[in-house]
A and B are shown apart, each in its own frame.
Chain A
């Protein structure tokens, strides 16, 4: 088990290194980062002076090593617009994004797993059809449209819920539904197919044959065995949620990292963009490493690989 975790930990470090290279390259895509960072009306001398001051004349590899050193200390340079360190701006907004993504994930799990189980147990009944159709619609619905429609109905027409900002639970409802719906649909379909597969296994028939009543068969014997793909998808869906936060936060004026990044891109505030992309990607890598750790408990066979 230790060797498995060491190997996975090593792989995660490699991926983080790759992530840092991509984040570094974002600024070098056009070939001249100085032009990107300076306002369009900068003079040629300004540009030349800035280029020397920032070290943009050095070989790209040297620049990358310098960037990596900074990144390890959380130093991505100063925000062009706010004059503060880019990373501290992003970190300030991180709790809001985690709150939203957490609420979206919680909502998804609370809705999707029961829906998937009921669908599988009551296969080909009206409940199953309704839940399947809902899941199909949920997967096809673009996040931004759903958010706008929810605002139209619940904020504009009914005036039940606020349409923007962060505050009490009321503010969280619409953004969390918007962000969580796609994930809900995905987990519901996966839970259904996973449960159907497990319910057809011999050990379930054995459990029923020896007289175990139906609820423990479903909730204990079947769900535990169907949970591995669900845990996997939760790790992967975190990426969807963090990415989705870009859109959802923009629609609901939610003060998180996603909205900050979109604003930073339009303000050409690239140090902030780099810090945000790096932080969200690293979060994803770390969570997926933790998911792998969780596997070793759910499926002891992995420990001996």
Chain B
């Protein structure tokens, strides 16, 4: 039998020290910035976000401005007023750069909103399934298997085909059907957090389940969630542009990267720039998010396999 004092000495302090936690974040940021690829990714993401926010200020032309006399002009073409179209014009004479800049708004809007919906949904399911276990856990994990059995894009186009393509429907459909990764990662984390001393101490002190989940479990499951959310945003952006490409995204004349690609495909043999540049925009954005997400994972939680 050990003396009672030694138990207290080994136990973890119950109240987490706030200032220390903040300093940890600074340290994490510093480590993140030191990874060159992650920094590059962060820079790309920042530029895309700023472009989307400041679109009216940075865009050289109005993205809806049609001029049939200037249709299908190649990149760098100068019009009669001496204004240069850096990436050329499309089949209706609209400036491609302007449309790519405005297209980033839809991509990011759908990306952020859908990730937020699926992230919150997955977080809630993961927390409950992991913490309460038993039948609830079985139920949600079978539900996850069912969700994963569907080729995502096929289910999405079937549902959007029935409901009709609109910004709201696209966000909800992608959001509601993307919760599985979040739920699995959070659940796995909760399973180990549940057994830790500070949670057991909270249980022993008579805390309610809701309070334990929110105050003690959630903050510790947040890191893997954040990594998944970052990487998932890239996937959502690709899906949004795929839907737009198939004609099931946000409808024209609103510029979307996928929709521009679909237009460009028609003029592939005469005007290569129509399809090339919107695709590059998707590629660069997704690459930036992936690099940043990879860096975030390696810094925060290297053991996480996502």
Specify whether A and B are partners.
Answer: yes
Q: Does B264 contact A (CB under 8 A)?
A: yes
Chain A residue with minimal CB distance to B287? A140
- Please give the residue numbers on chain A whose beta carbons come within 8 Å of chain B beta carbons, in ascending order: 11, 14-16, 18-19, 22, 26-27, 29-30, 36, 136-137, 139-145, 148-149, 151-152, 156, 236, 239-240, 242-247, 250-251, 258, 261-262, 265-266, 268, 270, 273, 276-277, 280-282, 284-285
Within the complex, the shortest CB–CB distance from B170 to chain A, in Å, comes to 14
A148 touches B146 (CB 8 A): no
Q: Does B64 contact A (CB under 8 A)?
A: no
List the A side residues contacting B159 at CB < 8 Å: 26, 29
A145 touches B149 (CB 8 A): no
CB within 8 Å for A151 and B268 given contacts A26-B162, A36-B162:
yes
B279 touches A148 (CB 8 A): yes
List the B side residues contacting A270 at CB < 8 Å: 162
A156 touches B242 (CB 8 A): no
List the B side residues contacting A151 at CB < 8 Å: 268
List the B side residues contacting A239 at CB < 8 Å: 148-152
- B residues 251-306 touching A (CB-CB < 8 Å): 258, 261, 264-265, 268-269, 272, 275-276, 278-279, 282-283, 286-287, 290-291
Q: List 18 A-B contacts (CB under 8 A).
A: A18-B146, A19-B149, A19-B150, A22-B150, A26-B162, A27-B162, A136-B291, A149-B275, A239-B152, A242-B151, A243-B154, A258-B154, A261-B154, A265-B158, A265-B248, A266-B247, A273-B161, A281-B151
List the B side residues contacting A242 at CB < 8 Å: 151, 154
Number of residues of chain B lying within 8 A (CB) of chain A: 43
The docked-state distance in angstroms from the alpha carbon of A268 to that of B163 is 12
Within the complex, the shortest CB–CB distance from A9 to chain B, in Å, comes to 13
B234 touches A243 (CB 8 A): no
B287 touches A137 (CB 8 A): yes
CB within 8 Å for A284 and B290 given contacts A15-B142, A148-B279, A270-B162:
no
B269 touches A262 (CB 8 A): no
A247 touches B158 (CB 8 A): no
A265 touches B161 (CB 8 A): yes
The docked-state distance in angstroms from the alpha carbon of A30 to that of B169 is 12
Q: Does B246 contact A (CB under 8 A)?
A: yes
Q: Does B104 contact A (CB under 8 A)?
A: no
A142 touches B242 (CB 8 A): yes
Chain B residue with minimal CB distance to A25? B159
The docked-state distance in angstroms from the alpha carbon of A243 to that of B149 is 11
A277 touches B283 (CB 8 A): no
Within the complex, the shortest CB–CB distance from B201 to chain A, in Å, comes to 33
List the B side residues contacting A246 at CB < 8 Å: 151, 153-154, 157, 246
Shortest Cβ-Cβ A-B pairs, 5 listed? A243-B151, A145-B279, A18-B146, A265-B161, A140-B287
B162 touches A250 (CB 8 A): no
The docked-state distance in angstroms from the alpha carbon of A280 to that of B148 is 12
B291 touches A265 (CB 8 A): no
B158 touches A148 (CB 8 A): no
A143 touches B163 (CB 8 A): no
B283 touches A141 (CB 8 A): yes
List the A side residues contacting B79 at CB < 8 Å: none
CB within 8 Å for A18 and B143 given contacts A144-B245, A250-B246, A262-B246:
yes
CB within 8 Å for A152 and B272 given contacts A246-B154, A246-B157:
yes
B287 touches A136 (CB 8 A): yes
B146 touches A142 (CB 8 A): no
Chain B residue with minimal CB distance to A15? B145
B146 touches A140 (CB 8 A): no
List the B side residues contacting A268 at CB < 8 Å: 161
Chain A residue with minimal CB distance to B285? A140
Chain B residue with minimal CB distance to A285? B149
Chain A residue with minimal CB distance to B276? A149
CB within 8 Å for A277 and B268 given contacts A142-B238, A142-B282, A246-B153:
no
Chain A residue with minimal CB distance to B144? A15
The docked-state distance in angstroms from the alpha carbon of A186 to that of B152 is 17
The docked-state distance in angstroms from the alpha carbon of A258 to that of B234 is 23
Chain B residue with minimal CB distance to A33? B162
The docked-state distance in angstroms from the alpha carbon of A16 to that of B158 is 18
B149 touches A284 (CB 8 A): yes
Given contacts A27-B162, A140-B287, A258-B154, 4 further A-B contacts (CB under 8 A): A14-B142, A18-B142, A139-B290, A141-B286
CB within 8 Å for A26 and B234 given contacts A11-B145, A19-B150, A152-B272:
no
Residue of B154, B162, B234, B242 ringed by the most chain A CB atoms within 10 A: B154
The docked-state distance in angstroms from the alpha carbon of A246 to that of B242 is 10
The docked-state distance in angstroms from the alpha carbon of A248 to that of B199 is 49
The docked-state distance in angstroms from the alpha carbon of A156 to that of B272 is 10
Q: Does B155 contact A (CB under 8 A)?
A: yes
List the A side residues contacting B145 at CB < 8 Å: 11, 14-15, 18
